[in-house]
Amino acid sequence: MGDPRKPRKKWRGPKHPWIKERLEKEIVLVGRYGLKNKKELWRAESLARYIRYRAKSLLGLPDEIRAKETEVLLSKLRKMKLIEEGATLDDVLGISAEHILERRLQTIVYRKGLARTIYQARQLITHGHIAIGGRRVTSPGYLVTAEEEDLIDYAPGSPFKREVEASS
């Protein structure tokens, strides 16, 4: 057992820190998705890497075990809306960090038009103005499921909600 005050890392950084092409790609993604730092990007890359690893490991299993485990993995990814209905394991191998970043609460708030910019979306979330199904969520990196996506709105006590109701 580990120390509960020291949680395990959820990400792995790049093996070589100074590759120009990778640095330029990271800067573009950090700007496009309004990330606080590259650690958030590396966390998404690690999650995508783990999902691809699970899909590859399923390909080597016997057929009866593979069918059951594949359905579990695919249903979880469908629930997260990372893959479409009717996708196969080959489609799972194409998941990248950008697919994960598209499912973050910060990105979805911006895409739904609740914030004018991706940076304002982050600020609205951290200040408690955004709720999912009436429950405040203050983590911009929260991965939104398909069911929760329609429930995203301003928090009940938020002045932004009052502005929207007053203008209607």
Specify whether 71 is located in the same domain as 108: no
How many CB atoms neighbour CB 110 within 10 A? 21
Residue 130 lies in a domain: yes
Specify whether 132 is located in the same domain as 151: yes
Residue 33 lies in a domain: yes
Q: Is 103 within 8 Å of 33 (Cβ atoms)?
A: no
The closest of 119, 118, 139 to 130, measured between CA atoms, is 139
Query: pLDDT of 50-108, one tens digit each?
Result: 999 999 999 999 999 999 999 999 999 999 999 999 999 999 999 999 999 999 999 99
Query: pLDDT of 123-133, one tens digit each?
Result: 999 999 999 99
Can you give the pTM of this predicted structure? 0.92
The closest of 106, 108, 81, 107 to 95, measured between CA atoms, is 81
Specify whether 58 is located in the same domain as 115: no
Specify whether 131 is located in the same domain as 85: no
How many CB atoms neighbour CB 144 within 10 A? 21
Beta bridge partners of 104: 143
Domain count, the chain: 2
CATH code of residue 124 = 3.10.290.10
d(CA 51, CA 35): 21
